Amino acid sequence: MAMEPKSWGRYPRVSGQKAHPVTWTSEPLPVPPEGGSLLPHGLGRSYGDSCLNAGGSLLTTERLDHFLGFDPATGVLRCESGVTLDGILRLVTNQGWFLPATPGTKFVTVGGAIANDVHGKNHVRVGTFGRHLRRFELVRSDGSRRVCSPEENRDWFEATIGGLGLTGLITWAELQLRRVSNPYMHQETIAFSNLEGFLKLTRESTRDFEYTVAWVDSLARGRHLGRGLFHRANHAPPQFTARQPSPPRLSGLAVPFDFPGLALNRVSVTAFNALHYRMRNQGLMHYEPYFFPLDSVHHWNRIYGSQGFVQFQCVVPPNDAGVAALKEILDRSAHSGMPSFLTVLKTYGDVPSPGWMSFPKAGYSLALDFANRGERTYQLVDELDRLTREAGGRVYPAKDSRMSPESFAAYYPERERFAQYVDPAFSSSFWRRVRGAG
Amino acid sequence: MKKVLVLGATSAIAQATVRLLAARGASLYLVARHAERLEAVAQDARTRGAARVEAETLDLDDFAQHEPLVERATAALGGLDGALLAHGVLGDQERAQRSYGETEKVLRTNFLSAVSLLTPLANRFEAQRAGTLVVISSVAGDRGRQSNYVYGASKGALSVFLQGLRNRLAPAGVAVVTVKPGFVDTPMTAAVKKNALFASPEAVARGLLRAVDTHQDEVYLPDFWRPIMFLIRSIPERVFKRLKL
Ligand SMILES: Cc1cc2nc3c(=O)[nH]c(=O)nc-3n(C[C@H](O)[C@H](O)[C@H](O)COP(=O)(O)OP(=O)(O)OC[C@H]3O[C@@H](n4cnc5c(N)ncnc54)[C@H](O)[C@@H]3O)c2cc1C
The answer to whether residue A417 is domain-embedded is no
Same domain as A124, residue A166: yes
Q: Whose C-alpha lies nearest to ligand 1, atom 47?
A: A165
Residues A308, A399 within the same domain: yes
Is B29 catalytic? The answer is no
Q: How high is the pLDDT of residue A272?
A: 60
**pLDDT the model gives residue A305:** 83
CA-nearest residue of chain B to A77?
B47
Contacts of B36 in chain A (CB under 8 A): 24-26
- Does 3.30.1540.20 match the CATH number of domain B3-241? no
Q: Which of A2, A26, A80 is opposite residue B36, by nearest beta carbon? A: A26
Domain membership of residue A264 as a residue range: 184-403
Note whether A216 and A299 are same-domain residues: yes
Q: pLDDT of A36-88, one tens digit each?
A: 999 999 999 999 999 999 999 999 999 999 999 999 999 999 999 999 999 99
pLDDT at A293: 86
* Predicted confidence (pLDDT) at residue A25 exceeds the cutoff of 70: yes
Which one of B44, B53, B200 makes the best mutation probe of the A interface by having the most chain A beta carbons within 10 Å? Answer: B44
Query: A343 and A244, same structural domain?
Result: yes
Verify whether the Cβ–Cβ distance A63 to B12 is below 8 Å.
Answer: yes
The catalytic residue among B29, B100, B149, B151 is B151
Which pLDDT score, from 0 to 100, does residue A2 have? 37
The two beta strands, B132-136 and A253-254, are unpaired
Cβ atoms within 10 Å of B22's Cβ, excluding its own: 23
Q: Which atom of ligand 1 is nearest to the CA of A121?
A: 8
3-state secondary structure of B116: helix
Mean pLDDT of B62-79: 98
Has residue A12 been placed in a domain? no
For residue B41, give the nearest of A21, A66, A69 by CB distance.
A66
- Closest residue by CA, ligand 1 atom 22: A45
Please give the DSSP secondary-structure letter assigned to residue A295: G
With a cut of 80, say whether residue A172 has pLDDT above it.
yes
Residue A337 C-beta-side C-alpha neighbours within 13 Å: 3
The pLDDT mean for chain A works out to: 91
Give the burial class of B243: count Cβ atoms within 10 A of its Cβ; 0-12 exposed, 13-18 middle, 19 or more buried.
exposed
- B58 C-beta neighbours (distance < 10 Å), count: 17
Q: Are residues A105 and A221 in the same domain?
A: no
Q: Look at A248-262, B124-138, B156-170 and tell me which has the smallest mean pLDDT.
A: A248-262
Instruction: Give the model's confidence band at A346: pLDDT under 50 very low, under 70 low, under 90 confident, else very high.
Output: very high
Residue A384: pLDDT above 80?
yes
Chain B CB contacts of A87 below 8 Å:
none
Please give the distance of CA B233 from its chain centroid, rounded to a whole number: 22
Task: Please determine, for residue B188, whether its predicted confidence score (pLDDT) is greater than 70.
Answer: yes
Question: Once rounded to an integer, what is the mean pLDDT over residues A194-219?
Answer: 95
CA distance A126 to A119: 9
CATH value at residue A147: 3.30.465.10
- C-alpha–C-alpha distance, residues A174 and A77, integer Å: 6
Residue A207, CB half-sphere, CA atoms under 13 Å: how many? 4
Task: Work out the minimum CA distance from A88 to partner chain B, whole angstroms.
Answer: 10
Give the model's pLDDT for residue B165: 98
In this structure, the residues whose C-beta lies within 6 A of any atom of ligand 1 are A 8, 39-46, 50-51, 61, 81, 103-105, 108-109, 111-113, 115-116, 118-120, 164-165, 169-170, 294, 398
Q: State pTM to two decimals.
A: 0.94
* Nearest Cα residue to atom 13 of ligand 1: A103
Top mutation candidate among A79, A114, A118 for ligand 1, by most atoms within 8 Å of CB: A118
Nearest to B21 by CA among B179, B211, B209, B216: B209
Residues 6 or more apart in contact with residue A336 via CB below 8 angstroms: A376, A380
Distance (Å, rounded) from C-alpha A152 to C-alpha A148?
5
- pLDDT of residue A296 exceeding 90, the answer is no
Question: Are the C-beta atoms of residues B28 and B50 closer than 8 Å to each other?
Answer: yes
pLDDT tens sequence across B25-58: 999 999 999 999 999 999 999 999 999 999 999 9
Q: CA–CA distance from A269 to each of A35, A162, A277, A300 (Å)? A: 44, 33, 12, 15
CA distance linking residue A23 with residue A59, whole number of Å: 10
> What DSSP letter does each residue of A171-235 carry, written as one string?
EEEEEE-EE-SSSEEEEEEEEESSHHHHHHHHHHHTTT-SEEEEEE-TT--GGGTT-EEEEEEEE
pLDDT at residue B92 in the model: 94
ipTM: 0.92
Residues A398 and A319 both lie in one domain: yes
Q: Which of A137, A154, A180 is the last residue of a domain?
A: A180
pLDDT surpassing 70 at residue A259: no
Q: CA gyration radius for chain A?
A: 21
Average pLDDT rounded to a whole number, residues A278-299: 82
Which residues lie below 8 Å from residue A342, measured CB to CB, with a gap of 6+? A215, A367, A368, A369
Q: Are residues A307 and A200 in the same domain?
A: yes
Give the CA angle between residues A185, A191, A195 to the nearest 5°: 115
Nearest CA to ligand 1 atom 51: A45
> Could you tell me if B4 and B31 are in contact, meaning their C-beta atoms sit under 8 angstroms apart?
no
Chain center to CA of B11: 10
